[in-house]
Amino acid sequence: MGKFSELAYRDGYLCVTMSDIAWDKPVLCISYFPVLKTNDPSSHPVGERVWEIQRYVYEWSPGAHNTRQYTLIDGNNTESIAQDEIPIKKPRGRHKWYQGEWHKDRGS
């Protein structure tokens, strides 16, 4: 499934989120990895997508010649400060969750 990252503010930190769909249950898993301790996230593009350009380095670019880079606080050793699990709604009809997605239940 597709992974994506964006900037978020959580518990006093500007964070890069890592999102993925769980393999074994219908939830979107979001982990928050800190890049900067701040009480004022307003000068950062919170909610915008970022791209990993090197290991543990992310870039936000709204246009040519205008980029910002964010590095995880502890590089490879950075741990998530929070996790969210958001349920993925079951489609209409008979479906079962299997290997990270809903599949039509063809009966037994």
Total domains in the fold of the chain: 1
Q: Dump pLDDT digits (tens) for 35-73.
A: 999 999 999 999 999 989 888 899 998 877 788 999 999
pLDDT exceeds 70 at position 33: yes
Residue 2 confidence class, pLDDT cut points 50, 70, 90: very low
pLDDT attached to residue 77: 94
* Two structure tokens written together for 106: 């063809």
Structural domain including 37 reads 5-104
Helix (H) or strand (E) holding 85: strand 82-87
Sequence-ordered list of residues with C-beta below 8 angstroms from that of 15, at least 6 positions apart, any chain: 7, 8, 9, 32, 33, 34, 35, 81
Global confidence as pTM:
0.82
* Two structure tokens written together for 73: 């606080």
pLDDT exceeds 90 at position 108: no
Cβ(86)–Cβ(30) under 8 Å?
yes
Helix (H) or strand (E) holding 96: strand 95-98
